[in-house]
Amino acid sequence: MTGRSTRPTLEEVAARAGVGRGTVSRVVNGSPRVSPQAREAVLKAIEELGYVPNRAARTLVTRRTDTVALVVAESDQRLFGEPYFAGIIRGISNGLGDTGLQLLLALARSPDEYGRLEDYLTTQHVDGVLLTSLHAEDPLPAKLEANGVPTVLGGRPPGLHPVSYVDVDNRSGAREAVGHLIAGGRRRIATIAGPQDMGVGIDRLAGYREALAAAGLPEYVEYGDFGEASGITAAERLLAAEPELDAVFAADDPMALGALRVLHRSGRSIPGDVAVIGFDDSAAAPLADPPLSTVHQSPEEMGREMARLLVSRIRGETVADPVVILRPHLVLRDSA
């Protein structure tokens, strides 16, 4: 027997099943407006012929693409070099695992790329969008919602009021970390804060300041971009300004690791002279020298929750709580 040279068509399925073309289309697209007998005949014909629905045609009928996009507005270096993003992607992939939705990763590394991406996402190429690492006054979330594209954010940027987002209680996590340093007798506690056009950077700095204010202690603040190199630069500035620092709270683990490098080079013992606490509980934290105390958050859990909320919105389900705030906790190791 020779194999057929073309794929079976919708019309051939209809002829084999003894029904009209429209009935086959309704079965393929999951419509309930088909009798059980007709559905069974169509499914049997599809199996016998090996029919594969035309995805483009199905999209025209259902206005669904079975695709969601994760948009990351960061450089390649940060996306592929920092474990936080890998955790988010794993969590989202797990959350979409049995939904039939495919995940599209979209990078926006420049304003031009961001503009092209905005045009793509708002013209029915995806069923929903997940956004992470957003900065203040980003117009994309509102534009997506205005165009009927369900959108869920990982973290809430300052100045925006998104329909749905997942975040960590960054302020309480920072307060807990700095409170531990104060309780251990540290009195000159510095912070390496994150970017102040991001909610995570603002909230972790606020938590640091609240803990110090309650204890009547002075602030020592430098800023980084959540990367290790910026942690090195900030730590050097802090030590130059206040050589008697006895603790550093960094707004993420990479910046804390940068601070450890500077403290080692300057001859400070850790935690004898200077205690250090980071934020994230990344895979690198327990491998640091000494192992890094840090505030634990789960980017995988954040990704799963983002996916759960987005799937519910795509399906038109009522979402009881469109905002999810995850609780972090302090993990103590040798650095503090």
Q: Is 240 helix (H, G, I), strand (E, B) or coil?
A: helix
**pLDDT attached to residue 1:** 40
CATH superfamily of domain region 170-296:
Response regulator (3.40.50.2300)
* Reported CATH class of domain 67-168+300-326: alpha beta
Over the stretch 269-303, which tens digit does the pLDDT of each residue have? 999 999 999 999 999 999 999 999 999 999 999 99
pLDDT of 101 over the 60 cut? yes
Which pTM value belongs to this model? 0.78
Alpha helical stretches, state H, the chain = 10-17, 21-28, 36-49, 55-62, 76-81, 83-95, 111-121, 140-146, 170-183, 199-215, 228-241, 253-265, 299-314
- Fold annotation for 10-62: 434 Repressor (Amino-terminal Domain) (1.10.260)
Maximum CA pair distance of the chain?
88
pLDDT of 2 over the 50 cut? no
Other C-beta atoms lying within 10 Å of the C-beta of residue 330: 17
pLDDT of 63 over the 60 cut? no
For 277, list phi and psi in degrees, rounded to 5. Answer: -130, 135
| Poorest-pLDDT segment among 65-74, 88-97, 185-194, 198-207 | 65-74
Whether the domain at 67-168+300-326 and the domain at 170-296 fall into the same CATH topology: yes
- Rounded-to-integer distance, Cα 198 and Cα 321, Å: 23
Confidence of residue 64 (pLDDT cuts 50, 70, 90): low
Domain boundaries, the chain: 10-62, 67-168+300-326, 170-296
* Tokens linked to 114: 């961001």
Chain centroid, CA 295 distance in Å: 18
| Poorest-pLDDT segment among 131-140, 160-169, 327-336 | 131-140
* Tokens linked to 318: 């009522």
Over the stretch 21-40, which tens digit does the pLDDT of each residue have? 888 878 876 667 789 899 89
CA dihedral 242, 247, 252, 256 (to 10 degrees): 80
Q: Find, among 94, 145, 162, 128, the residue nearest to 303 by Cα.
A: 94
